[in-house]
Amino acid sequence: MAQIEFGGVLEKVTTRDEFPLAKAREVLKDETITVLGYGIQGPGQALTLKDNGFKVIVGQRKGGKSWDKAVNDGWKEGEDLFEIEEACEKGTVIQFLLSDAGQIDAWPTVKKHLSPGKALYFSHGFGITFNEKTGIIPPKDVDVILVAPKGSGTSLRRLFLEGKGLNSSFAIFQDATGKAFERVIALGIGIGSGYLFETDFKKEVYSDLTGERGVLMGAIAGVFEAQYNCLRKNGHSPSEAFNETVEELTQSLMPLVAENGMDWMYANCSTTAQRGALDWRHKFREAVEPVFDDLYDSVASGREAEIAIKKGQDPDYRKKLDEELKELRDSEIWQTGTQVRKLRP
């Protein structure tokens, strides 16, 4: 593991050069990797591990949409696709990739198959960090590890197929075998990580919940809506408001930031844009910092976890979620977005 300086701070990082795929295969050559759940992270991780030459099986409840999705992706019942309990029994590494609510429901089944020496793998620190709410307390004689790709399973898979990688964090909660580090890094390389940086379960879930509610999803959606509504109130057409708010950011400016950073993007815009952005960024930062402080406090207190668990266990959750997403989808800004995307060359 190398130490690399990020913004003046040394961090522990593992790259593919230090831990190549061949080494990962050697570390896991005698392991059977059971992927539980075939929703958000499951498909991307399972398919990429399989393509990279690891022994992988999928555990899923038969008869549901996710089971059918797994079959459509080429997993075969009785060969590498099993009901959850049988998959748990067969696996030496159990990748627990069900939803947070699904993990709570499945935990009694998973726990009874965690025999000594197995590894319990997460891609989210939620279940372990908030174990007083989830009840997920692993036995002491298994490794408990985490690899959290910094993006969706869909992005992980797409980048792998393009010959690229999605960066991931990794953590070790419990090293019962003395092999937890090699196991977790091998799995991280196996799922297609670009590089892996060290964290712990609590930091992972705190940063993840803050990010999802903040810049990655909640804040960006709210800022989009606020600017779009401002432009519309002042007489701008839906097309103009959407292009100036969403399309230019996602299709033009963010790729420039991704390539070389915010300063480079500024340097490649007009003087008028540069000056306005440099002046107004301070006002926006000062306006939203208190909101982020409130958000982080809500995450660290366990309130966000409590809300997520309660909502996720509501039998009508899926129906209510569909209604909320429909409201978002049917709003003028995103209806306009649908039309704009159709006009892209």
> So which residues are the catalytic ones?
124
Residue 105 CB partners (closer than 8 Å, separation 6+)? 98
Match 């209806």 to its residue by tokens. 335
How far is residue 337 from each of residues 101, 155, 226, 246, 341, measured CA to CA in Å?
32, 21, 15, 8, 6
DSSP, residue by residue, 221-241: HHHHHHHHHHHHHTT--HHHH
Structure tokens at 338: 């649908």
Residue 13 CB partners (closer than 8 Å, separation 6+)? 1, 2, 3, 4, 195, 196, 197, 198
Going by their DSSP bridges, the two strands 143-149 and 119-122 should be labelled as parallel
Count CB neighbours of 23 within 10 A.
15
**DSSP helix/strand/coil, 84:** helix
Q: Where are the alpha helices (DSSP H) in 191-270?
A: 201-213, 218-233, 238-242, 248, 254-260, 262-267
Rg of the chain on CA atoms, in Å: 22
Helix then strand then coil, in percent of the chain rounded to 5, is 55, 15, 30
Sheet holding 119-122, edge to edge: 2-6, 9-15, 193-198, 166-174, 143-149, 119-122, 93-96, 33-36, 56-59, 81-82
* CA 36 to chain CA mean position, Å: 16
